[in-house]
């Protein structure tokens, strides 16, 4: 894509009033701010704490991620281990209990005591007389007695195939049939299985921990089928187990830390073991606030929707709330683990693992509070944010210190300027300002010689600006041609004010000359252009390209008693063709110069400019001097650049009423060729072409003296002052109308 196409798409049209010769895109607020900010940031020491903060952020995020991943992996393994261990212990205990019950149910003494009771009912005969039943019950209890005592069974019952209870240590149960609490485990036992039932609430009055008799006491039963001689199931033996003893102790082994617990849940979602938070659950209103109240069989494992420990209260009845994630999964028969966090039955964020035990018809869930599980990460996060805040505060403090230091330095530099003393030079008055600096008229304290002192703007003292400033001085000081401004001195004050001193020029630049006095006569234009060519030829011979030839950078002066002495100014954009180290001072692939006088190659391939690019600008300057208008005019930079690249210039004769010699017109149009190969190849070649014009040499000293005398007198009479003090123009070596645009990559 060509540069002007890119410019058309990326730049908004910039319309300016007045004549086209004043058009400039340079120093727009956005571009100026961006470049100033970029250079400013390169120097500031407060960048390092900011970089440290950013680096710490990256490292902290990485460390946190790594530690969190490690904690999650370890926590997952721990939860899975606990739930597997608890399940194995519960399964082992259940097998032992089932084996004990099966041995008793099939022992000879038990069968001899039970068969008569079962046969009497199954045969349809009348029940034995009370005395006979007492004998049978006594014999059965005698047979079961040692086992009940040894295994701490708190009761028993015997049921026939119709689930009718034919014998029990609780007389009120004998003869009852179809009891819902017993139905599930009796059915399963009649199918031939020996197992430990899930906890259930007792239907007979039993003493609780306070010694008060009541129903609903949590109970479990180890159940085994009773078989006849042909190994057919004829009844069921069920032995009562107190779940608050071994079963609860097994679940309590899964408690770890301050909040870790392992509990059982039945198929309905009820808590089937004791919670370690019973006291807190009473305060939350989840169980009765009584001394004997227990969470086992009295708490539904539901998700309240928020942390009740922090004051949340659900807006629904607990029976209407959904089960917790763990309860939902385990009741569905799925084993799993979650370390991302979910709410438990208190609404507290927890992590957990779960497993369903088909043999016991319960699910085992292990959980621990999320805050406790990730406490190391929380501590790390606090330390990290503490360091982050410390570094941020340091960056802010250094930033403030830098601003204050820069402000005091600028104030000191301004004080130097206000004191009208820079090094050995006494400042007299400000002459003008340009792209990088300000120019003052001054005189040397010892020599008393009038001097122009150029200083860097105190707001622009950056490494790149200083380097460019020094480069301008060094390059210009290498040039000795009388038409090149002379450099006297260079230095820096203790306050950091950078300056250089050059010859003081009391004249007028060509831009102002044409604006004030109109197009210039042909002989005078030839006289001016020949001197410009002389200055450029020396620079080109040293491998230097000016890159910013334009009317504002060429001054016409009285020097050494001679009128119309030309001085070429502002070599600040000069390109050193033979020094690669200079390449970085002008941005890579950037457009540098003034659009009105820029060659096509400077627009399309800025890094390829050479001496012939300056000659294009010389031709444009000559065109402007003769016609009073630039070669091309446009409403915006994009269109202007496009014209330089693709549009042939109009002949001078079409744009001026004054006849222009054909030889001079041909020489200037040759300079404005799009192809460098068709232009004059050196500044000396151009000077020779111009010298062949008939009018060459016709601008005499008398003509020049007459012009200067006339206009100085006019200037003096208009201003009422001395003509030397009220100059025709000010000395500004950097009054630049330039544009710097990065090329698309």
Per-residue pLDDT of 263-292, as tens digits, reads: 999 999 999 999 999 888 988 888 887 777
The reply to whether 440 and 515 lie within a common domain is no
User: β-strands 218-227, 195-196: how paired?
Assistant: antiparallel
State the pLDDT at residue 400: 81
Expressed as residue numbers, the domain containing 441 is 409-503
The values of phi and psi at residue 272, to 5°, are -105, 10
State the pLDDT at residue 320: 92
CA dist., res. 523 & res. 404, Å (int): 58
**453 closest CA partner among 508, 490, 402:** 490
| Lateral strand order in the sheet of 362-369 | 261-265, 362-369, 349-357, 336-343
In the DSSP assignment, the letter for residue 87 is H
| 82-95: average pLDDT | 93
CA dist., res. 67 & res. 69, Å (int): 5
| 426-449: average pLDDT | 80
The reply to whether 475 and 415 lie within a common domain is yes
What ranges in 106-226 are assigned the alpha helix state H?
A: 108-122, 130-150, 180-190
The reply to whether 546 and 681 lie within a common domain is yes
State the pLDDT at residue 734: 41
Q: Which residue has the tokens 């073991």?
A: 273
The reply to whether 497 and 541 lie within a common domain is no
pLDDT band for 414, please (50, 70, 90 cuts).
low
Structural domain count, the chain: 2
pLDDT band for 120, please (50, 70, 90 cuts).
low
State the pLDDT at residue 731: 53
The last residue of one of the domains, among 503, 519, 549, is 503
Tell me if 308 is assigned to some domain: no
Gyration radius from the chain CA atoms: 52
Would residue 548 show up in a list of annotated catalytic residues for this protein?
A: yes
Structure tokens at 662: 């054909």
Partnered with residue 167 across adjacent β-strands are 158
State the pLDDT at residue 54: 80
Instruction: Determine contact, residues 23/640, Cβ cutoff 8 Å.
Output: yes
pLDDT band for 188, please (50, 70, 90 cuts).
very high
pLDDT band for 259, please (50, 70, 90 cuts).
very high
pLDDT tens-place string over residues 321-351? 999 999 999 999 999 999 999 999 999 999 9
| 418-444: average pLDDT | 78
State the pLDDT at residue 14: 39
Of the candidates 548, 564, 570, 614, the residue annotated as catalytic is: 548
The reply to whether 499 and 514 lie within a common domain is no
State the pLDDT at residue 428: 84
Instruction: Determine contact, residues 642/629, Cβ cutoff 8 Å.
Output: no
| 595-621: average pLDDT | 91
In terms of phi and psi (left: phi > 0; alpha: psi -120 to 50; beta: otherwise), the region of 222 is beta
Structure tokens at 393: 């505060």
The reply to whether 521 and 418 lie within a common domain is no
pLDDT tens-place string over residues 503-521? 888 889 999 999 999 999 9
> What is the maximal distance between C-alpha atoms in the chain?
163
State the pLDDT at residue 165: 92
The last residue of one of the domains, among 477, 503, 529, is 503
pLDDT band for 386, please (50, 70, 90 cuts).
confident
State the pLDDT at residue 124: 46
Tell me if 425 is assigned to some domain: yes
- CATH number of the domain encompassing residue 496: 3.30.200.20
CA dist., res. 727 & res. 432, Å (int): 13
Instruction: Determine contact, residues 311/327, Cβ cutoff 8 Å.
Output: no
Instruction: Determine contact, residues 610/680, Cβ cutoff 8 Å.
Output: no
Tell me if 258 is assigned to some domain: no
What ranges in 151-200 are assigned the alpha helix state H?
A: 180-190
CA 557 to chain centre: 58
Tell me if 433 is assigned to some domain: yes
Lowest model confidence (mean pLDDT) among 44-48, 136-140, 394-398: 44-48
The reply to whether 657 and 572 lie within a common domain is yes
Tell me if 427 is assigned to some domain: yes
State the pLDDT at residue 716: 56
The reply to whether 530 and 657 lie within a common domain is yes
Lowest model confidence (mean pLDDT) among 92-96, 384-388, 650-654, 671-675: 384-388
Instruction: Determine contact, residues 476/459, Cβ cutoff 8 Å.
Output: no
Lowest model confidence (mean pLDDT) among 27-31, 161-165, 679-683: 27-31
**pLDDT at 27 exceeding the cut of 50:** no
CA dist., res. 635 & res. 559, Å (int): 39
State the pLDDT at residue 339: 94
pLDDT tens-place string over residues 531-555? 999 999 999 998 888 888 999 999 9
Share of the chain above pLDDT 70, in %: 81
Give me the sign of the Cα torsion angle 541, 544, 545, 551.
Answer: negative
The reply to whether 521 and 609 lie within a common domain is yes
The reply to whether 625 and 738 lie within a common domain is yes
- CATH number of the domain encompassing residue 706: 1.10.510.10
State the pLDDT at residue 587: 42
Tell me if 375 is assigned to some domain: no
Instruction: Determine contact, residues 346/259, Cβ cutoff 8 Å.
Output: no
Average pLDDT, the chain: 81
| Lateral strand order in the sheet of 562-568 | 507-509, 554-559, 562-568
In the DSSP assignment, the letter for residue 291 is T
CA distances from 7 to 138, 501, 538, 624 (A): 111, 38, 35, 26
**pLDDT at 119 exceeding the cut of 70:** yes
**pLDDT at 47 exceeding the cut of 80:** no
Instruction: Determine contact, residues 323/331, Cβ cutoff 8 Å.
Output: yes
pLDDT tens-place string over residues 457-489? 666 666 776 777 677 777 778 889 999 988 888
The last residue of one of the domains, among 503, 534, 554, is 503
pLDDT tens-place string over residues 55-70? 877 887 888 788 888 8
The reply to whether 496 and 523 lie within a common domain is no
User: β-strands 362-369, 349-357: how paired?
Assistant: antiparallel
CA 606 to chain centre: 35
The values of phi and psi at residue 488, to 5°, are -100, -40
The reply to whether 479 and 527 lie within a common domain is no
CA dist., res. 591 & res. 390, Å (int): 44
pLDDT band for 574, please (50, 70, 90 cuts).
low
Lowest model confidence (mean pLDDT) among 262-266, 408-412, 598-602, 732-736: 732-736
In the DSSP assignment, the letter for residue 172 is G
Q: Where is pLDDT greater, at 260 or 64?
A: 260
* Contacts with 419 (C-beta within 8 Å, 6 or more apart), sequence order: none
Q: If DSSP states are collapsed to H, E and C, what string results for 696-737?
A: CCCCCHHHHHHHHHHHHHHHHHHHCCCCCCCCCCCCCCCCCC
C-alpha torsion 526→529→534→539, nearest 10: -170
State the pLDDT at residue 389: 82
Lowest model confidence (mean pLDDT) among 114-128, 161-175, 711-725: 711-725
* Contacts with 187 (C-beta within 8 Å, 6 or more apart), sequence order: 163
Tell me if 706 is assigned to some domain: yes
User: β-strands 155-160, 233-241: how paired?
Assistant: antiparallel
Lowest model confidence (mean pLDDT) among 240-244, 437-441, 550-554, 723-727: 723-727
Tell me if 413 is assigned to some domain: yes
State the pLDDT at residue 408: 74
Lowest model confidence (mean pLDDT) among 224-228, 357-361, 649-653: 357-361
| 150-177: average pLDDT | 90
């Amino acid at each position: 894509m060509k540069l002007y196409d890119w410019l058309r798409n990326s730049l908004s049209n910039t319309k300016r009033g007045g004549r086209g010769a004043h058009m400039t895109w340079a120093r727009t607020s956005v571009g100026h701010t961006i470049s100033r900010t970029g250079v400013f940031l390169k120097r500031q020491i407060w960048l390092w704490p900011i970089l440290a903060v950013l680096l710490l952020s990256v490292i902290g995020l990485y460390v946190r991620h790594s530690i969190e991943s490690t904690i999650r992996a370890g926590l997952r393994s721990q939860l899975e281990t606990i739930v597997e261990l608890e399940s194995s212990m519960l399964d082992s205990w259940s097998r032992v209990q089932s084996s004990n019950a099966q041995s008793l149910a099939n022992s000879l003494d038990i069968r001899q005591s039970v068969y008569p009771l079962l046969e009497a009912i199954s045969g349809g005969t009348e029940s034995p007389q009370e005395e006979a039943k007492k004998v049978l019950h006594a014999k059965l209890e005698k047979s079961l007695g040692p086992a009940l005592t040894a295994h701490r069974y708190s009761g028993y019952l015997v049921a026939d195939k119709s689930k009718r209870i034919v014998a029990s240590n609780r007389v009120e149960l004998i003869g009852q049939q179809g009891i819902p609490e017993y139905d599930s485990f009796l059915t399963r036992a009649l199918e031939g299985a020996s197992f430990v039932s899930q906890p259930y609430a007792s239907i007979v009055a039993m003493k609780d921990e306070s010694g008060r008799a009541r129903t609903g006491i949590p109970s479990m039963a180890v159940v085994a089928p009773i078989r006849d001689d042909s190994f057919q199931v004829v009844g069921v033996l069920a032995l009562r187990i107190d779940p608050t003893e071994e079963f609860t102790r097994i679940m309590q082994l899964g408690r770890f830390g301050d909040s870790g617990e392992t509990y059982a849940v039945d198929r309905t979602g009820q808590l089937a073991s004791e919670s370690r938070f019973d006291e807190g659950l009473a305060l939350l209103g989840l169980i009765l606030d009584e001394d004997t109240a227990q969470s086992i069989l009295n708490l539904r494992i539901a998700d309240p929707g928020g942390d009740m420990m922090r004051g949340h209260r659900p807006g629904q009845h607990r029976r209407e709330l959904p089960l917790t994630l763990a309860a939902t999964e385990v009741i569905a028969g799925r084993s799993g683990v979650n370390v991302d966090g979910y709410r438990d039955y208190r609404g507290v964020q927890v992590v957990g693992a779960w497993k369903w035990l088909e043999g016991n018809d319960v699910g085992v869930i292990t959980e621990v509070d999320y805050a406790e599980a990730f406490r190391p990460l929380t501590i790390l996060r606090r330390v990290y944010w503490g360091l982050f805040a410390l570094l941020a505060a340091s960056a802010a403090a250094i930033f403030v210190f830098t601003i204050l230091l820069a402000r005091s330095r600028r104030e000191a530099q301004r004080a130097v300027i206000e004191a009208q003393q820079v090094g050995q030079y006494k400042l007299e008055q400000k002459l003008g300002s340009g792209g990088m600096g300000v120019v003052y008229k001054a005189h040397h304290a010892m020599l008393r010689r009038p001097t122009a002192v150029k200083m860097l703007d105190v707001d622009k003292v950056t490494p790149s600006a200083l380097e460019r400033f020094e480069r301008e001085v060094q390059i210009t000081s290498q040039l000795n041609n009388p038409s090149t401004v002379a450099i006297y001195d260079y230095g820096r004050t203790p306050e950091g004010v950078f300056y250089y001193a050059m010859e003081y020029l009391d004249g007028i630049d060509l831009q102002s000359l044409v604006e004030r006095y109109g197009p210039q006569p042909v002989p005078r234009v030839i006289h001016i252009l020949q001197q410009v060519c002389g200055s450029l030829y020396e620079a080109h011979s040293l491998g230097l390209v000016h890159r910013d030839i334009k009317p504002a950078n060429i001054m016409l002066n009285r020097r050494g008693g001679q009128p119309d002495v030309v001085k070429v100014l502002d070599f600040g954009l000069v390109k050193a063709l033979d020094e690669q180290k200079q390449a970085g001072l002008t941005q890579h692939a950037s457009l540098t110069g003034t659009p009105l006088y820029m060659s096509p190659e400077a627009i399309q391939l800025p890094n390829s400019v050479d001496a012939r690019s300056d000659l294009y600008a010389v031709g444009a300057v000559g065109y402007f001097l003769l016609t009073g208008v630039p070669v091309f005019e446009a409403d915006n930079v994009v269109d202007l650049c496009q014209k330089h690249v693709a549009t042939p210039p109009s002949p001078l004769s079409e744009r001026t009423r004054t006849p222009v010699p054909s030889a001079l017109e041909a020489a200037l149009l040759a300079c404005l060729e799009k192809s460098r190969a068709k232009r004059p190849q050196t500044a000396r070649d151009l000077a020779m072409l111009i010298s062949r014009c008939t009018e060459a040499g016709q601008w005499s000293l008398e003509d020049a003296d007459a012009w200067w005398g006339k206009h100085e007198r006019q200037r003096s009479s208009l201003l009422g002052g001395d003509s030397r003090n009220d100059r025709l123009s000010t000395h500004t070596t950097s009054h630049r109308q330039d544009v710097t645009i990065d090329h698309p990559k």
